[in-house]
Chain A
């Protein structure tokens, strides 16, 4: 195996006394569709932000296709695409303007930027809404527009934070097919998600993060260990939910 597309070593980040990411190591092979799963507050978004050059780590190293993200951020950022958790975009641009703007910021010629924007809007099923303001988009449309912005310069590695959160099944299917196509061409995807079924279904590699540490990582089948990913996840992270004792009134027909 050659150098991994994403190589993380000893990545750490604290916010005051709270250690959000406690020294994680991660290797994602080129051409992988990898999932990063964990409970709320486990450190997924913090880790992805540090991997994409948007949050300075306290310690550690991130290499993307061999380029050190924090030693040479300009070179590393040029080959990645990022879809943040909250797809907060430029609300007062239309979908078409947004994609074109993203492409031009990445240095694509104006004609090429327009052309690619049109093609991506078509694939993302946004052509009919291309001239509407992003402010008027639904959550699913925003996620798709954000994905278009992240893909328009044809990155070799794509990072997505909760790409399917609040997305309807049709839009989710569009995003899923696009990611599968992207990976099929040899590119790499790392995304965080709460949806275990999705990760189990599409990811060939999965990492489970809890309390800022990677508690399991490897090929999906290996991490599952013969169980469903949901069960493996709960076994590793531990279930904290009660069974509803004390709510004797709930579910009865009496008030």
Chain B
């Protein structure tokens, strides 16, 4: 059974490789990334040799890997056919050989191998002497086994939920902290390290509580064996093995249940019976109401808004407390509106086959103008408070809260441009969207990457260009009294933004009127 399931996993990997060019590129990139992670982890762990806080940092690295194994399978549930016990439930398989086979399948692939090889860096960094080396080897093997068992236990226990619509929605939100962590590591940590606020000593003492977690047990077993405390080392390894056995037992029972349990988690979702919001305000109100509901109920939409906020904050973090804070404020405003435009530059493709309902009902320029205006109303009703709040927040953090006013003027100009560009792009560069496992945001379908890239470039560059007049107006009126300057600037910027958005809807409606059938055909090819 183990051999069969390992073969199945390998076949799934090679079939994914054959399915499309995008899958091929994804596989190669993923494998290269896994190799880099393995090398990077090995080097980081090996470099701890001789450092005072080496065991603390090793425990931290082990814990990060365990956390990754806990989170990532939830995101890619469905990508790996061996993760979902339901796919094997119809076969006459006994639970024990199935469990062993599934464990073996989990250990197959570039990432488990990268995990194992990377952690072997402890042989250089932490282990000392023959006993230390042997214990380190055992500790790494147990750590990898713990990670795999933990991932299996969680995915099996949540399999019913993850198959359901609601479970997929919940899993989608995991992207937000992961993206925020990524931005923190990419933007905040390097800066703090450069400023000397993060050093190796920062990790000292971190294992006061990490040491009692299974990854910490593994790290401390190596430390103890290397410092001559063989008994304690073996005790810690035994404790880790016991945790794995208990976790395995729980998984074993969970697997037995999962094979004969159906998912019923989506049967209880009822909404309140309120009428469609703004439905009395014609087509534009009706469309705005539908679009607003989607911004609230669709996890991908919520994730997009969170990403916009994170990007606005992260892009400014390195310069916001410096004399060049103006640049950070402007960059944040441009990226906020630019990201909004990028995310909505294919709104018809993202709507998917459901657009057929709209395509058969929308007739003529007037209704199409209402359609795009409705979209813009819905987006602006969320974007304006979000951008204003972030801009004022950043200005206050910079120590110049009054500067928030002119940045909001930049927001207004950028937002109008962003809405105009997204409306025009959605009818001129429309492409089928495809939801991929592990990502709550639909991406471009195979072969449509060019349009997606063009829309993103148009969005960011267009917004940047459109904000220039507002930035110049703010700059050249600096000497005018703020009580006069700021209200005028804000009003003019708002009017400018509204004019841009209005022009965008006119152009988009005219174009859509000419090619509504073609737009429907594109939307119908989306797989959401």
A149 contacts B by Cβ under 8 Å: yes
Binds B, one of A4-12, A74-82, A224-232: A74-82
B479 contacts A by Cβ under 8 Å: no
Q: Could you tell me the dominant secondary structure of chain A's interface residues?
A: mixed
How close is A56's CB to chain B, nearest CB, in angstroms?
Answer: 5
Please indicate which of the listed interface residues A54, A73, A133 has the most CB atoms of chain B within 10 Å of its own CB: A54
How close is B362's CB to chain A, nearest CB, in angstroms?
Answer: 7
CA gap between A78 and B367 in the complex, in Å: 12
B364 contacts A by Cβ under 8 Å: yes
Chain B 65-86 per-residue mask, 1 if CB under 8 angstroms from chain A, else 0:
0000000000000000000000
Checking B357, B364, B524 against A105 with a beta-carbon cut-off of 8 angstroms, the contacting residue is B357
A31 contacts B by Cβ under 8 Å: no
Interface residues of B, count at CB 8 A? 41
- Within 92-129 of A, Cβ neighbours of B (below 8 Å) are at 92-94, 96-97, 100-102, 104-107, 110, 113-114
Chain A 202-231 per-residue mask, 1 if CB under 8 angstroms from chain B, else 0:
000000000000000000000000000000
- Within 327-374 of B, Cβ neighbours of A (below 8 Å) are at 352-354, 356-364, 367
- Within 14-61 of A, Cβ neighbours of B (below 8 Å) are at 52-56
- Within 488-517 of B, Cβ neighbours of A (below 8 Å) are at 516-517
Interface residues of A, count at CB 8 A? 41
CA gap between A84 and B524 in the complex, in Å: 10
**Given A80-B360, A88-B353, A136-B165 contact (CB < 8 Å):** yes
Evaluate contact between B276 and A101: CB separation under 8 angstroms: yes
A197 contacts B by Cβ under 8 Å: no
Checking A56, A96, A105, A106 against B518 with a beta-carbon cut-off of 8 angstroms, the contacting residue is A56
How close is A142's CB to chain B, nearest CB, in angstroms?
Answer: 11
Evaluate contact between A105 and B358: CB separation under 8 angstroms: yes
Checking B286, B289, B360 against A52 with a beta-carbon cut-off of 8 angstroms, the contacting residue is B360
**Given A74-B363, A74-B364, A54-B283 contact (CB < 8 Å):** no
Checking B273, B279, B364, B367 against A113 with a beta-carbon cut-off of 8 angstroms, the contacting residue is B279
How close is A93's CB to chain B, nearest CB, in angstroms?
Answer: 6
B275 contacts A by Cβ under 8 Å: yes
**Number of A-B residue pairs having CB atoms within 8 Å of each other in the complex:** 107
Evaluate contact between B357 and A55: CB separation under 8 angstroms: no
Please indicate which of the listed interface residues B276, B298, B367 has the most CB atoms of chain A within 10 Å of its own CB: B276
Residue of B nearest to A134 (CB): B354
List residues of chain A with CB within 8 A of the CB of B283: 104-105, 107
List residues of chain A with CB within 8 A of the CB of B293: 92-93, 97
**Given A56-B518, A92-B297, A93-B290, A100-B276 contact (CB < 8 Å):** yes
CA gap between A55 and B516 in the complex, in Å: 9
A168 contacts B by Cβ under 8 Å: no
Evaluate contact between B521 and A55: CB separation under 8 angstroms: yes
Checking B267, B275, B364, B517 against A100 with a beta-carbon cut-off of 8 angstroms, the contacting residue is B275
A132 contacts B by Cβ under 8 Å: yes
Evaluate contact between B294 and A92: CB separation under 8 angstroms: yes
B270 contacts A by Cβ under 8 Å: yes
Evaluate contact between B360 and A132: CB separation under 8 angstroms: no
7 A-B residue pairings within 8 Å (CB atoms)? A53-B360, A73-B516, A78-B363, A101-B286, A105-B286, A105-B357, A110-B275
What 20 new A-B contacts, CB under 8 Å, besides A97-B290, A100-B275, A105-B367? A52-B360, A53-B360, A53-B516, A54-B360, A55-B521, A73-B516, A77-B363, A80-B360, A81-B360, A84-B353, A89-B354, A90-B357, A91-B354, A91-B528, A92-B294, A94-B271, A97-B293, A101-B357, A110-B275, A114-B275
